[in-house]
Structures are given as structure tokens and as C-alpha cells.
Amino acid sequence: EVQLVESGGGLVKPGGSLRLSCAASGFTFRSYAMNWVRQAPGKGLEWVSSISGHTGYIYYADSVKGRFTISRDNAKNSLYLQMNSLSAEDTALYFCARVNQLRENYGMDVWGQGTTVTVSS
């Protein structure tokens, strides 16, 4: 079964750090570009970051650039998001998602269940 499972969310104080993980199974992880997408409580979807299958490219939303770092370990079938200098505006449910059919232009077809990040003092 194709599956993505996020972990690492939690409650963190403003200015703190957190590292999210996404464990992939059921497909050839190294072949797929991967994404992080977040959703603040009661709000819409916001793309956060993308990384290609073989680390050929990395992109970030302006809202997280310089604070968040996306990475992957293809040997461990895992995707990561290191989040530093967190603020209340980063409070959200964070999803990892796979590109559809190996094509970045085709949307995201497999999503995890999400992990919740709450930034509060």
C-alpha cells in the first residue's frame, strides 16, 4: 500500500525549532519529488516547500524561506522539514505529499494524514 506517515509535530514556544518527518512506503521514494503543504486552523491550503527526487532542486514559500529546510534521505525513504524561528503564524497541520505520476505539473496524489504544529508561549 502506498503510504505517507508524518511525525514530529507538537507544541513549541515562539522562536523555537521542530523537525518534521515523513515516512514513505509502498513506492520507489527516490524517484518522486515531494512536497510539504500546511493548513492553518480553519484556513486553506498553503504550499510550503518542494524537493526533487534526486535533490536536483529545492523550493520554498517566501513565508518560510530562510527559516525552514527541506531534505530527504532516500535510503531511509524519508522526507524532513527542519523548522526554525517558529512564530504563531506557523501553527498549522503539516502534510507531506507526493507528486502525481512522477510529474511536478500533475498535482499531488498521495498525502499523509498530517502532523500538527502549535506555536504558543
Length of the chain measured in residues: 121
21 and 8 Cβ atoms separated by less than 8 Å: yes
Region of 11-19, 67-75, 76-84, 110-118 interacting with other proteins (CB under 8 A): 110-118
110 and 94 Cβ atoms separated by less than 8 Å: no
Among residues 18, 34, 50, 70, the one that binds other proteins under rule CB under 8 A:
50
Give yes or no for residue 62 binding other proteins (CB under 8 A).
Answer: yes
Region of 14-22, 24-32, 70-78, 96-104 interacting with other proteins (CB under 8 A): 96-104
92 and 32 Cβ atoms separated by less than 8 Å: no
Quote the CA–CA distance of 36 and 95 in Å, as a whole number. 6
Give yes or no for residue 112 binding other proteins (CB under 8 A).
Answer: yes
Residues that bind other proteins (CB under 8 A): 35, 37, 44-47, 50, 59-62, 95, 97, 100-101, 104-109, 111-114
